[in-house]
Chains A and B, each alone.
Chain A
Amino acid sequence: MPEPLTPDVVAKVADLAMLELSDDELQTFTAQLAAVLEHAHDVEELDVDDVAPTHHPYPLQNVMRTDDPHPAVDAEVAAAALAMAPSVEDGQFRVPPALGEEP
């Protein structure tokens, strides 16, 4: 197992997950996540090198629908989806500038 969890590592993980943490949250989450990972250490005692991983519990492979033409999303559904968007312009989702300055 990798080395123990530190606040620096948790800060890096939060950054990857696009979450911002206060200093207090960073301390609390570090302790809580470390406790869960500590408990998960018990799987270390198992020798599973020769065991195949299970990605999915029911044996299904290559699920394909039949290649029949069918209507794309209709205008009503598209309008309903756009109506739920935080910001829309000309029938498209609107976001702040991709390359704008950090606040």
Chain B
Amino acid sequence: MSRTAVEIAAAVASGAASAVSILEEHLARIDEREAEIHAFNTVLTDEARAQAAEIDRQVAAGHDVGPLAGVPIALKDNLCTRGIPTTCSSRMLEGWRPPYNATVVERLAEAGAVLVGKTNLDEFAMGSSTENSAFGPTRNPHDLSRVPGGSSGGSAAAVAAGFSAVALGSDTGGSIRQPAALCGVVGMKPTYGAVSRYGLVAFASSLDQVGPFSRDVADSALLYELISGHDPRDSTSIPATLPSVRGHLDRGVEGLRVGLIRELLGETLDGFEPEVLAQTRAAADTLAAAGAIVDEVSVPSTIYGLSAYYLIAPAEASSNLARYDGVRYGHREEGGANTAAMMRASRTAGFGPEVKRRIMLGTYGLSAGYHDAFYGKAQRVRTLIIDDFAKAYENFDVLLSPTSPCVAFPFGAKSDPLTMYLNDVATIPSNLSGQPSISVPFGTGAHGLPVGVQVLAPLLGEPVMYQVAAQIERAAKEPLLQETLLKEGRS
């Protein structure tokens, strides 16, 4: 498999490798496997070649080329790229070219990254499998008969297949972490407000965050440092200097207190596969072996997270997606006799079934007479979850759980919407609380498919979160240790 972003940037900056040759390696893999995987909505071959050649010219001229010099990167297709189609995998935005770049896109370009393409997603980021894409699903590089997870399934698959070294996604209820787990890569959702959302197409504004996909924890930390920080163009952006994280990667976990979330260990909620639980406990054991103090902790209200989420997120989505009316941009259905008829016809033709479901769920939950019973109640439950996390963090530095209850599932296996939603049970609490969490690959589960373990931390706890994630990654690279722990009957 290809080199990491840290390795590529060092090689390109020192002249040991050219950005063009690095790019060609990635384009060759795209040529070989993209037809069967379908990670991308758009591959930017010519633009990427021009960008890589420019980096090489700068290196030759002795200029400073930035910490991501020549690193091939993919972007989820709900991040605005100037002049480059940004579809959200929806007929509604097919062919739309934004007149501006998202702030994260600007920051990556300044750092010298080379944009290879825009990746597939569940339409408007609503889903957990990419099966809701209007342009067809992405297939899991580990098993083409299975989903890559979602909604950022294209970004996860692109990194797993070596189409790009790193990628960005967005995470509203687990849309970075769950596909990362299912594709065997690292995926991180930052603290709410740590990364600018200017230019991220909005889904649920009190939950959405942009974050990185990578093949290792060090790349994730580098990407996080580069994309995070205050942006005056996003009023939810935290107006403070954020702590750096990369210095924490090699500190080990001696004395750190790690809490396994009891409600997410398969006894309280159904649907957790035994192999996934066994790997989660094995990851905890490796932390204990490295000197951490590991114990179980109850975060009781997490079990209500799913219900709160599916009342809050659709409500906010119904409001955010009201802007798609065929007037200023996006799909217009011609032939309506008046403006309202044109808008109805455009929305009906432009949105797919899952988006319509969520818009209607949200419209219902916000309608007169129901607002308090649904949205209002869910927001109060949200407070309970935040309070429960706060209590847990009185005694623990980080918390641990499976990322997804199951490994990658076959296409069509969760065709009932509620069954699909239940897949997000372990990731949703961090979106409701606004706290950071990361999925780190740790061994395999059923059918030899990748398992992800999730590390959760308090608001702006990214440094300690990365510290623990790096230790789990070190342990995961020692298969013998892992095998021994699993044999000791921790399933």
Interface residues of A (CB under 8 A from B): 1-2, 5, 9-10, 13-14, 16-21, 25, 29, 32-33, 35-37, 39-43, 46, 48, 51-58, 60, 63, 65, 77, 80-81, 84-87, 93, 95-103
A93 touches B328 (CB 8 A): yes
| Chain A interface mostly | loop
B271 CB to nearest A CB, Å: 13
Task: Please report the C-alpha to C-alpha distance between residue A98 and residue B339 in the assembled complex, in whole angstroms.
Answer: 5
Question: Chain B residue with minimal CB distance to A95?
Answer: B339
Q: If A39-B306, A102-B341 touch, does A58 touch B192 (CB 8 Å cutoff)? A: yes
Question: Chain B residue with minimal CB distance to A1?
Answer: B373
A58 touches B238 (CB 8 A): yes
| Chain B interface mostly | helix
A19 CB to nearest B CB, Å: 6
User: Is B187 on the interface with A (CB-CB < 8 A)?
Assistant: no
B192 touches A46 (CB 8 A): no
Q: If A43-B378, A52-B383, A98-B338 touch, does A60 touch B236 (CB 8 Å cutoff)? A: yes
User: Is B197 on the interface with A (CB-CB < 8 A)?
Assistant: no
B356 touches A19 (CB 8 A): yes
A33 touches B348 (CB 8 A): no
Interface residues of B (CB under 8 A from A): 83, 96-97, 99-100, 191-193, 206, 232, 235-236, 238-239, 301, 303-304, 306-308, 310-311, 318, 322, 325-332, 335-345, 347-348, 351, 353, 356-357, 359-361, 363-364, 367, 369-370, 373-374, 376-384, 386, 416-418, 421, 432-435, 459
Task: Please report the C-alpha to C-alpha distance between residue A16 and residue B432 in the assembled complex, in whole angstroms.
Answer: 27
- Taking CB atoms, residues of chain B closer than 8 Å to A39 are 306-307, 310, 418, 421
B338 touches A96 (CB 8 A): yes
Task: Please report the C-alpha to C-alpha distance between residue A103 and residue B330 in the assembled complex, in whole angstroms.
Answer: 22
A8 CB to nearest B CB, Å: 12
Question: Chain B residue with minimal CB distance to A33?
Answer: B361
A65 touches B232 (CB 8 A): yes
- Taking CB atoms, residues of chain A closer than 8 Å to B383 are 48, 51-54
- Taking CB atoms, residues of chain B closer than 8 Å to A84 are 96-97, 99, 329
